[in-house]
Amino acid sequence: MLDIKLLRTNPDLVRENMIKKFQQDKLHLVDEVIELDREYRACLTQCDLLRNQRNVISKQIGGLMAKGQRQEADEAKKQVVAMADEMEALTVREDELKAEIKKRMLVIPNIIDSTVPIGRDDSENVELEVFGEPIVPDFEMPYHVDIMERLNGIDLNSARKTSGNGFYYLTGDIARLQSAILTYARDFMIDKGFTYCIPPFMIRSSVVNGVMSFTEMENMMYKIEGEDLYLIGTSEHSMIGRFIDTFIDENALPQLFTSYSPCFRKEVGAHGIEERGVYRVHQFEKQEMVVLCHPTQSGEWFNKLWQYSVEFFRTLDIPVRTIECCSGDLADLKVKSIDVEAWSPRQQKYTEVGSCSNLGDAQARRLDIRVKSKSGNYFPHTLNNTVVAPPRMLIAFLENNLNADGTVRIPKALRMYMGGKEMIG
């Protein structure tokens, strides 16, 4: 959510940003907010004026009574009552205006970074850099489920009976491999100076509304029936929500966390959830990076975070590339975003395995997270990035480490988490 002062002082910048994001249908919101804000501030001014007048008259009543001027005192009391009624009506109107302003402000997109490429959708995202050699093996690469089934590592049929499509059982070495990857990811980030955290896996609507847009919420999150609780779609939501309505001492910045959680997603609109595949699923595990920092440092942390992802995947012998999201592909809260994509030898293309995002002060402003500073309080910037999210990452791992005989290599970095095994199969 933007600072309303920006709409007061530079509405053209907000309109220009909407046009860059191809959201011309929202342009009317700028004028509506400005007009509602003008009325809101007029109500505040009138209320303050009435309050001051009431206080003056209230003080005069005692003097009039002492002089025996009862009629004048009674008239003054009527004035005080009338002013109180008018102030009450103004207060009600203030609350209505605040609600209307907030409703519009929540759907006005964040100001994107000046370096973001302009484009309508993900087809116009820009490749930045390739890391590692994308190899196509000289043997036929099986479908990822076939690789897992040959290793007795997955059971989709049973999951379909218990839970439906989009769920799976992992077993044996494949289940162990997924746990090993997550544990390695945890330690990898701890070694980078991040604090490990396991957050609540359910959050209230007040947190949901603070960390994401309503459209994202409707498309992603499962609501617990009869309760004000949602299953998290990523641990970032719970981790940022941890600081709701709090002050952080400036000396405690940056706050660096690597958080583990299961994640639950509707995947609405994700047509073609493959009956036998595990690329789009409703439940998965994830290791995340979350940063709260000084506004002047968010650009530096943004670059560090996506570089950590690249480094992590390269230690597991997986070629990756980075893709910058264009303006039309950015969620409304995001200032800038880079996707990390892993090479798929089977499909002979890159597929997304993580996303690094700088959200500026949007989440902090929505959740009222402030930094206490000697020079004045301010909103911190928040950033998040995927370290690893099986099963997508697991698919990339299996394809890039598969041998012709069906066995799977275990890179050196992962062996200690797999009981010293150099290979499974």
What CATH number does the domain containing 340 carry?
Answer: 3.30.930.10
Chain segment 119-131, per-residue pLDDT in tens = 999 999 999 999 9
In a domain, 414, yes or no: yes
pTM of the model: 0.90
Question: Is the confidence at residue 276, as pLDDT, over 70?
Answer: no
* CA-to-CA separations, 287 to 316, 317, 330, 337, in angstroms, rounded: 16, 19, 22, 18
With H, G, I as helix, E, B as strand and everything else as coil, classify residue 317: coil
- Indicate whether 82 and 143 sit together in one domain: no
Domain assignment present for residue 111? The answer is no
Looking at residue 63, what is its pLDDT?
85
Which residue has tokens 């997955």? 154
Q: Which residue range(s) make up the domain with 301?
A: 122-424
Q: What percent of the chain has pLDDT over 90?
A: 86
- The angle formed by the CA atoms of residues 353, 358 and 364, to the nearest 5 degrees, is 125
Per-residue pLDDT of 339-351, as tens digits, reads 999 999 999 999 9
The domain boundary residue, chosen from 78, 105, 132: 105
* pLDDT higher than threshold 50 for residue 259: yes
Whether the per-residue pLDDT at 30 is higher than 90: the answer is: yes
Does residue 251 sit in the same domain as residue 301?
yes
Residue 273 has pLDDT above 60, yes or no: no
The model's confidence at residue 278, banded by pLDDT at 50, 70 and 90, is confident
* Other residues' Cβ atoms within 10 Å of the Cβ of residue 321: 18
Q: What is the mean pLDDT of residues 76-84?
A: 90
Task: Judge if 24 and 86 occupy the same domain.
Answer: yes
Mean pLDDT of the chain: 94
Question: In this structure, are 48 and 142 located in the same domain?
Answer: no
Does one domain contain both 142 and 79? no
Q: Please say whether the beta carbons of 315 and 299 come within 8 A.
A: no
**pLDDT band, residue 268 (cuts 50/70/90):** low
Contacts of 228 (CB under 8 A, 6+ apart): 204, 205
At 29, which CATH number? 1.10.287.40
Peptide bond before 391: cis, by omega within 30 degrees of 0? Answer: yes
pLDDT tens digits, 142-190: 999 999 999 999 999 999 999 998 899 999 999 999 999 999 999 999 9
Per cent of the chain over pLDDT 70 is 98
Nearest 10 degrees: Cα torsion 358, 361, 364, 366:
-110
| 117, part of any domain | no
User: Which amino acid is residue 321, in one-letter code?
Assistant: R
Asked if 92 and 196 sit in the same domain, the reply is: no
Last residue of a domain, one of 71, 105, 139: 105
Residues 203, 258 within the same domain = yes
Q: Check: CB of residue 50 under 8 Å from CB of residue 69.
A: no
- The β-bridge partners of 303 are none
- 270, pLDDT greater than 60: no
pLDDT for position 18: 98
**Of 105, 135, 160, the domain-final residue:** 105
In this predicted structure, what is the pLDDT of residue 62?
81
Mean pLDDT along residues 239-265: 97
Query: How many distinct structural domains can be found in the chain?
Result: 2
Q: Could you tell me if 302 and 334 lie in one domain?
A: yes
Residue 35 lies in a domain: yes
In a domain, 110, yes or no: no
Provide the pLDDT for residue 413: 96
| Residues 166 and 306 reside in one and the same domain | yes
- Is there a domain that residue 114 lies in? no
Domain annotation covers residue 375: yes
